[in-house]
Amino acid sequence: MAEIKGTVLIDSMKAIKARGGEAEFQKILRNVSEETRNIFESRISASSWYPVDAFAEFLEADIRETANGVREVLITRAEKVIEAQLQGIYRVFIKYGSPMFVVKRIAAVHATYYQGIEILPQAHESNGATIRYLGLRKRHEIMGYGIIGFFRKALEISGARDIAVKFTVPISDEREYAELTITWA
């Protein structure tokens, strides 16, 4: 079973509460399964592992309830989360690292947040890369929007221009892997 680190759930809940307060958070919880609700209502440990299925269900409810089902909103929301996470020394590493360094570093960091999902970055020339995600399923497709937002914002902070980030092998294809393609100037 694919799992995600508790810190991702905590950051998501903080972002929702900052954006819409406790009422918005509770509205989302009313629209998930009992199993997922129990996870999000319990004390979440930043270092513990939780089902990716529950996180994807939570994101689906969030987008349905707060963004009229427009999934692309998650890209912008993820950009805000990474911007908040990249403070102090971390921001310096990203800001002064090359875009290729940033891509490899973000891919390596993502790998520490997932269990049962393999992340394989592959550099292309000097202005592009592909990253394969093995273990994501069609039911996890919504997570792709957040992944796009994380890479896009980190590359922007590093000084990259003309950034294009998209899944060229979509998570929804239910293939052996999903493939994210990234280019920049």
Residue ranges per structural domain of the chain: 3-66, 74-183
Residue-level pLDDT at 91: 60
Q: Which pLDDT value is given to residue 159? A: 85
Long-range contacts, 157-162 (Cβ 8 Å, 24+): 157/83, 157/86, 157/91, 157/94, 157/95, 157/102, 158/94, 158/95, 158/96, 158/97, 158/98, 158/99, 158/101, 158/102, 159/95, 159/99, 160/99, 160/102, 160/184, 160/185, 161/185
Which pLDDT does position 102 carry in this prediction?
Answer: 78
What tokens were used for 36?
């997922």
pLDDT at 103: 81
Residue 30 confidence (pLDDT): 97
Q: What is the pLDDT of residue 173?
A: 95
Nearest to 132 by CA among 167, 86, 90, 80: 167
Q: Does domain 74-183 have CATH number 3.90.1520.10?
A: yes
Q: Which residues of the chain have pLDDT under 50?
A: none
- Which phi and psi (to 5°) does residue 132 adopt? -100, 135
